[in-house]
Structures are given as C-alpha cells and as structure tokens.
Amino acid sequence: MDSAIRPLIAGNWKMNGVTQNLSQLEALTSGLVARAATCDVLICPPATLVRVAATTCADGPVLIGGQDCHFEKGGAHTGDISADMLVDAGAKFVIVGHSERRADHHESSALVRTKAQAAQEAGLVPIICVGETQDEKLAGRALEIVTGQLTGSVPDIVEGGDIVIAYEPVWAIGTGMVPTSDDIANMHGAIRDWLAGRFGADGATIRILYGGSLKPSNADQILPLANVNGGLIGGASLKAEDLLGIIDAL
C-alpha cells in the first residue's frame, strides 16, 4: 500500500442483487461511519439498481458505479447503457473491460479503450480491468498479456489520476485461488512502471487495484503490498460484513 494514494475498495456485484439487497448498502454505510474509514468505498450494482443505490447512499461514504458502458453517447444500441446515463443515475465510476465481458461479449482492448474514453468524457472514472488467464500464466506470458491489455485499453489522455487500473488474474476470479504475494507485488510494480512510462508524474497517482478471490481472510496479506492501492471485490462485496472485514484489513 502506498500511503500517498487514498485506497479504493470497490465492490462488483456482477449479475447479483435486487431491491432487497439494498439493505447491504445501508449496513455498509453504518459500518463505515462507525469506523471513520480512511479509504474510498464504491459499490457497482447491476444497472437496474444504480439509481436507487445512489439515492440510498446519497451524502454517505458509499459511492456508486456502473459495471459497463457503451462507447457512444446514445443511439440505436438496444440493451446498452451510455456513460451519460450512468452519470444521470448517480454513478461516479464505471468498470470497463472486466474479463467476464472480454470473454462473454468478445470485448477487445480497442473497444475497452473507447469505453474508458466515453466514461472520462462523461465525468466518470473508468476502472480498467486487465489480467491473464491460467493458460497464459502457465506459459509464462502474464506480464506480456497484461502489458498488451494496458497498451490497448488505456486512453491516451489521463489527468490527475482520473482512471483506475484493476489487475484481476482471470484464474483467481471466483476460484478461491490467489497469486503469491511476490507475484502480486511484481505485477503491480510492472503496471506502475508502465503507467509512469506512459504518463510521467500522473502515472504515480493512478490507483492500481487487486481483484480475484479477495476476502477478509487474505486481505491483510494482499492490501499492504507495494503498489496495491485497494481492491476490486466480487463475491465478498455482496455482504456488508465481508466488505467491512476487508476494509478493516487496511
């Protein structure tokens, strides 16, 4: 953890959550207020809940984000959501290029970059996800894959840390497996070097999150590592108690 960068603990609810799950946001808010937490906390619920979640969390410590956006501002794109729509609903961040979208929806890095740019233009902070598959890791290609995804997905213009990078090894997502501390620190260090090379001093202020089976039981080993500026959490973000356990590890 780099003390100069305010950590971000971000929950990705994926395709989980209906109205009754909003009670978790209330519990999370109460827990954060009681702790006077020193990190930013974000929940990205499914699109159907973004507006009501933002209303539920208004003026509180929990920020709300989207899980994806289209690269265009509007038009004939049935089923899609624009960055402006997310802003209108109360979102502050949006996840782009999650490995589940890269796999399920065949999203390329070039497409992810246009989405990240659309988010920036709308005033959202894009959380740009990168990470290697198990086969790529076993072939010794993790760094090459992640660097390639960064090169393809990160916009050319970044100001004052208005993007976030999330390193999520695909094989660690939802599996209970996590990389070794050395592997996480090495990859985050390589991402930091890449950001510094591309954006100079601004690159040193960009938050790099770790994601993949991050839980209360392993957060105290992962979150203190160098260049880990918080986490992107799936399963353990669905319950306020679990997410607060991770926040306590900070």
Q: How far is the CB of 175 from ligand 13P (least distance, A)?
A: 7
Q: How far is the CB of 198 from ligand 13P (least distance, A)?
A: 23
Alpha-carbon distance values, 102 to 66, 69, 132 (Å): 16, 13, 11
Binding site for ligand 13P (CB under 6 A): 12, 98, 168, 173-174, 211-214, 232-236
The closest of 213, 233, 234, 177 to 15, measured between CA atoms, is: 234
Q: How far is the CB of 76 from ligand 13P (least distance, A)?
A: 29
Backbone angles phi, psi at 233, to 5 degrees: -120, 130
The long-range contacts involving 196-205, CB below 8 angstroms and separated by at least 24 positions, are 198/154, 199/158, 202/158, 202/159, 202/160, 202/161, 203/158, 205/4, 205/5, 205/160, 205/161
Q: Catalytic residue among 98, 107, 132, 136, which?
A: 98
**Does the annotation mark 159 as catalytic?**
no
**What would the two tokens of residue 65 be?**
């984000």
**Does the annotation mark 100 as catalytic?**
no
Q: How far is the CB of 59 from ligand 13P (least distance, A)?
A: 26
User: Which of residues 84 and 244 has its CB atom nearest to ligand 13P in the complex?
Assistant: 244
3-state helix vs strand vs coil in the chain, percent to 5? 45, 15, 40
Q: How far is the CB of 225 from ligand 13P (least distance, A)?
A: 17
Contact 198, 191 (CB under 8 A): no
User: Which of residues 13 and 199 has its CB atom nearest to ligand 13P in the complex?
Assistant: 13
The amino acid at 62: V
The closest of 91, 122, 133, 126 to 111, measured between CA atoms, is: 126
User: Which of residues 111 and 173 has its CB atom nearest to ligand 13P in the complex?
Assistant: 173
Q: Catalytic residue among 70, 100, 168, 188, which?
A: 168
User: CA-CA distance, 55 to 24, in Å (whole number)?
Assistant: 14
User: Which of residues 116 and 232 has its CB atom nearest to ligand 13P in the complex?
Assistant: 232
Active site positions, annotated: 98, 168
